[in-house]
């Protein structure tokens, strides 16, 4: 796979390799290595194959462990690398693979109605050992003695325009003893939709995995395809991609603050945050014709050039209002009182469970793909990666506030260095990956987003596309901040994570 150092590993070597990775990390989580995600796909002979993607440190290529399950079984690594817990359960649900010794051997993607059926994607494999035909349900009642525990199943149908999810709360009074999120109620099978699709159709699909992250998904997808085919986007297209990505980050962060203000009952601050978001979306529409910046990024560059004259002035006109808004929030006592100490996420937990983006940076984990694995033309621009140490809702908000200011500076720099030129590669293929596989990555608004793509022999259709989505990672982390908290703070804590249900349920 392009951009990866590939190692073939037998199943019996997996746990030893996990131990070696942990030993290399040492006692302190750092940017020098981390398991990223795992996924299943059909190997050359149609049998199942599991790929483990490993970060090997800043500026180093990713590592890829290829493992062929023995009779549909692999040893679980979730006890050693907890962030793999959900990925293993997802592969178990959808492909029928069995991960022996998994600490939580319960369904993740499939709910009660699917218990008696075969794994829905197991047909992707010509042979896959002996997949399970049923699942044990997870324990739903915490074992408590001598206490009157209330149980509240909230959702999956909820008020307002939020997406479908069910949250199970077990509490006494206001204190939350246990919390269990159940997502995947409207699973759209976006990864399966890529199978057999053309490169052009793939661009449209990627932009619709999570609508508010259209640029991030489109860019990660395009860079994965470019890696597989040996294409390189022209310089102007790469700088315009930076501008588009930062405009998306800007409106998302402003929406975040509007929602956070809403949960702290600051109605005026909510309206102002959403109005600032709206102004950025109107700038997007004038620049590209689409408020969500869609239908521009494609493998090889951009579908068309952009006239950026007037963009710097438009951003400068709204920047003072953004600064005033963020400063006002930070000086509002009622706002700070609700955020401080709420939803604390310890640094080690953030690392072990796979937190990403502003969530991990608020817990003092210094990671950002724009800097550590530079893409587009981020390496030519100067910016800081904001960090906070407290790991609470306030720290997560402060990281995003500082990112807004860095984003404004990045847009100014990119516009100042943008040069004329083509925005789509020519037809010459430079150095295609012999296996037709590629890995692409982006630091999206919500964190690290990666696409692993596998093309057919004609290099025009997809055999498999795997999406490592930041909200999938952060939804796994979130329950660790809810337990032992209280019901009054729950909405604030959830808003401080900036999660996307559509992104997780891809």
Burial track 360-373 (b if 16+ CB lie within 10 A, e otherwise):
bbbbbbebbbbbbb
The answer to whether residues 96 and 196 belong to one domain is: no
The share of the chain scoring above pLDDT 70, in percent, equals 91
Instruction: Determine the Cα angle at 322 with ends 389 and 295, to 5°.
Output: 95
- For the segment 340-364, what is each residue's pLDDT rounded down to a tens digit? 999 999 999 999 999 999 999 999 9
Pick the more confident residue, 238 or 146: 238
- pTM as predicted: 0.94
pLDDT at 145 over 50: no
**Measured between alpha carbons, how far is 202 from 391 in angstroms, rounded to an integer?**
37
pLDDT at 113 over 60: yes
Cα separations in angstroms, 228 against 187, 209, 434, 458: 28, 21, 8, 12
The answer to whether residues 94 and 200 belong to one domain is: no
Q: At what angle do helices 84-95 and 470-477 cross, to 10 degrees?
A: 110
Residue 454: which CATH number? 1.10.645.10
**Measured between alpha carbons, how far is 96 from 100 in angstroms, rounded to an integer?**
12
Asked which of 124, 156, 181 is the last residue of a domain, the reply is 124
In the chain, the N- to C-terminal Cα span, in Å, equals 23
For all residues of the chain together, what is the average pLDDT?
91
Confidence bin at 10 (pLDDT 50/70/90): very high
How many Cβ atoms are within 10 Å of 181's Cβ, its own excluded?
19
Contact 197, 461 (CB under 8 A): yes
Mean pLDDT of 178-184: 92
Supply the pLDDT for residue 209: 95
**Measured between alpha carbons, how far is 7 from 131 in angstroms, rounded to an integer?**
26
- For the segment 283-303, what is each residue's pLDDT rounded down to a tens digit? 999 999 999 999 999 999 999
**Measured between alpha carbons, how far is 228 from 436 in angstroms, rounded to an integer?**
5
Note whether residue 151 is domain-resident: no
**Measured between alpha carbons, how far is 360 from 261 in angstroms, rounded to an integer?**
22
Contact 345, 391 (CB under 8 A): yes
pLDDT at 180 over 80: yes
Note whether residue 113 is domain-resident: yes
Supply the pLDDT for residue 101: 96
The answer to whether residues 274 and 197 belong to one domain is: yes
Mean pLDDT of 228-257: 97
Pick the more confident residue, 47 or 29: 47
Supply the pLDDT for residue 132: 45
The answer to whether residues 114 and 194 belong to one domain is: no
pLDDT at 135 over 60: no
In 418-486, which residue ranges form alpha helices assigned H by DSSP? Answer: 470-477, 479-482
- Using DSSP's 3-state secondary structure scheme, residue 466 falls into strand
The answer to whether residues 194 and 120 belong to one domain is: no
The answer to whether residues 342 and 267 belong to one domain is: yes
- For the segment 457-496, what is each residue's pLDDT rounded down to a tens digit? 999 999 999 999 999 999 999 999 998 899 999 999 999 9
The one-character DSSP state at 163 is P
The answer to whether residues 195 and 77 belong to one domain is: no
Note whether residue 222 is domain-resident: yes
Asked which of 66, 97, 124 is the last residue of a domain, the reply is 124
Contact 195, 169 (CB under 8 A): no
Note whether residue 135 is domain-resident: no
**Measured between alpha carbons, how far is 372 from 57 in angstroms, rounded to an integer?**
8
Query: How many domains does the structure of the chain reveal?
Result: 2
Compute the chain's Rg from CA coordinates. 22
**Measured between alpha carbons, how far is 291 from 235 in angstroms, rounded to an integer?**
24
Order of strands across the sheet that contains 175-182: 150-154, 166-172, 175-182
- Using DSSP's 3-state secondary structure scheme, residue 135 falls into coil
**Measured between alpha carbons, how far is 189 from 354 in angstroms, rounded to an integer?**
23
**Measured between alpha carbons, how far is 349 from 356 in angstroms, rounded to an integer?**
12
- For the segment 86-108, what is each residue's pLDDT rounded down to a tens digit? 999 999 999 999 999 999 998 99
Instruction: Determine the Cα angle at 363 with ends 349 and 330, to 5°.
Output: 145
The answer to whether residues 88 and 203 belong to one domain is: no
Containing H/E element for 8? strand 4-9
Which of 312, 306, 309 is closest to 422 using CA atoms? 306
Instruction: Determine the Cα angle at 268 with ends 162 and 410, to 5°.
Output: 75
Note whether residue 165 is domain-resident: no
Residue 52: domain span: 4-124
Asked which of 68, 93, 124 is the last residue of a domain, the reply is 124
The answer to whether residues 211 and 85 belong to one domain is: no
Residue 52: which CATH number? 3.30.460.80
Q: How many CA atoms lie within 13 A of 299 on its CB side?
A: 27
Pick the more confident residue, 463 or 129: 463
pLDDT at 415 over 90: yes
The answer to whether residues 201 and 325 belong to one domain is: yes
Note whether residue 173 is domain-resident: no
**Cis previous bond, 187, omega within 30:** no
Note whether residue 179 is domain-resident: no
The answer to whether residues 111 and 213 belong to one domain is: no
Note whether residue 175 is domain-resident: no
At a CB cut-off of 8 Å and minimum separation 6, what does 461 contact?
Answer: 196, 197, 198, 455
Kindly give the pairing relationship between strand 73-75 and strand 98-100: parallel
**Measured between alpha carbons, how far is 417 from 423 in angstroms, rounded to an integer?**
15
Supply the pLDDT for residue 49: 94
Contact 483, 176 (CB under 8 A): yes
The answer to whether residues 100 and 224 belong to one domain is: no
Mean pLDDT of 202-227: 96
The share of the chain scoring above pLDDT 90, in percent, equals 77
């Amino acid at each position: 796979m392009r951009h990866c150092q590939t190692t073939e590993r037998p199943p019996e070597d997996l746990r030893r390799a996990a131990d070696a990775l942990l030993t290399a990390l040492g006692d302190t989580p750092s940017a020098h290595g981390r398991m990223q995600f795992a996924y299943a796909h059909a190997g050359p002979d149609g049998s199942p194959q599991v790929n483990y993607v490993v970060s090997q440190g800043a500026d180093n290529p990713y590592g890829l462990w290829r493992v062929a399950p023995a009779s549909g079984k692999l040893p679980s690594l979730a006890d050693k690398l907890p962030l793999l817990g959900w990925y293993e359960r997802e592969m178990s649900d959808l492909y029928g693979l069995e991960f022996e010794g998994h600490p939580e051997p319960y369904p993740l993607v499939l709910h009660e109605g699917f218990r008696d059926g075969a794994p829905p994607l197991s047909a992707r494999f010509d042979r896959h050992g002996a997949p399970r035909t049923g699942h044990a349900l997870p324990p739903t009642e915490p074992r408590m003695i001598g206490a009157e525990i209330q149980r509240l199943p909230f959702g999956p149908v909820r008020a307002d325009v939020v997406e479908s999810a069910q949250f199970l709360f077990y509490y006494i009074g206001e204190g939350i003893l246990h919390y269990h999120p159940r997502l995947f109620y409207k699973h759209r099978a976006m990864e399966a939709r890529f199978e057999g699709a053309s490169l052009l159709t793939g661009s449209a699909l990627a932009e619709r995995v999570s609508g508010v992250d259209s640029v991030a998904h489109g860019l990660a997808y395009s860079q994965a395809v470019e890696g597989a085919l040996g294409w390189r986007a022209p310089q102007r297209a790469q700088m315009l991609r930076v501008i588009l990505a930062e405009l998306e980050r800007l409106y998302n962060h402003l929406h975040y603050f509007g929602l956070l203000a809403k949960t702290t009952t600051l109605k005026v601050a909510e309206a102002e945050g959403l109005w600032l978001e709206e102004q950025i979306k109107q700038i997007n529409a004038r620049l590209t014709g689409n408020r969500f910046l869609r239908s521009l990024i494609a493998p090889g560059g951009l579908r068309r050039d952009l006239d950026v004259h007037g963009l710097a002035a438009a951003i400068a006109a709204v920047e003072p209002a953004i600064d005033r808004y963020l400063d006002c929030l930070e000086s509002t006592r009622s706002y700070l009182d609700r955020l401080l100490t709420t939803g604390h996420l310890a640094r080690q937990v953030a690392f072990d469970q796979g937190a990403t983006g502003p969530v991990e940076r608020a817990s003092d984990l210094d990671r950002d793909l724009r800097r550590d694995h530079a893409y587009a033309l981020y390496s030519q621009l100067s910016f800081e990666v904001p960090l906070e140490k407290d790991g609470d809702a306030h720290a997560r908000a402060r990281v995003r506030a500082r990112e807004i200011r860095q984003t404004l500076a990045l847009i100014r720099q990119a516009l100042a260095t943008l040069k004329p030129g083509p925005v789509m590669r020519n037809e010459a293929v430079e150095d295609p990956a012999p296996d037709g596989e590629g890995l692409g990555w982006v630091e999206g608004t919500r964190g690290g987003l990666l696409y692993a793509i596998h093309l057919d022999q004609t290099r025009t259709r997809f055999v498999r596309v795997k999406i490592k989505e930041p909200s999938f990672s952060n939804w796994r982390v979130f329950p660790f901040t809810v337990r032992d908290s209280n019901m009054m703070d729950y909405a604030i804590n959830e808003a401080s994570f900036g999660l996307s249900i559509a992104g997780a349920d891809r």
